[in-house]
Amino acid sequence: MIEHASQKQLCDKVQHSYHLIGKKWIGLIIHTLMEEPKRFSEIHAYIPDLSKRVLNERMKELEDDGIVIRNVITDRPVRTEYSLTRKGTELGKALQTIENWAEKWL
């Protein structure tokens, strides 16, 4: 019975991860943030087909999941940057494997 519970817990986690990375634009947003923090407008410039409304939704989802952190920089002018958390960086490294596969096979 204990084994069944841990298998269900693992299945739930795997399902949640596929649901997250399967959402349109999530992978590209994470890819964009891998090298350095970026402002909203910079992320949008990297992915011009992504509407600002959807980008805003995805950024909130990634923030809620602990993958992205929103940093308000109080210098003049005040600006907001987004960066990956440790959790987000590890996800980005995992997605790099898919990028390598795409480069080779697509």
CATH number at residue 20: 1.10.10.10
pLDDT beneath 70: ranges in the chain: 1-3
Q: What is the DSSP letter of 75?
A: S
Q: Model-level pTM?
A: 0.85
pLDDT, position 3:
61
Q: How many Å apart are CA 58 and CA 75, to the nearest integer?
A: 26
Q: How many Å apart are CA 29 and CA 6, to the nearest integer?
A: 32
- Closest C-alpha to 33, from 79, 76, 95, 106: 95
pLDDT, position 2:
55
Q: Under a CB-based contact definition with an 8 Å cutoff, are residues 30 and 67 in contact? A: yes
Q: How many domains does the chain have?
A: 1
Structural domain boundaries enclosing 51: 2-105
pLDDT, position 86:
98
What digits encode the pLDDT tens for the residues 28-55?
999 999 999 999 999 999 999 999 999 9
pLDDT, position 10:
79
Q: How many Å apart are CA 93 and CA 35, to the nearest integer?
A: 11
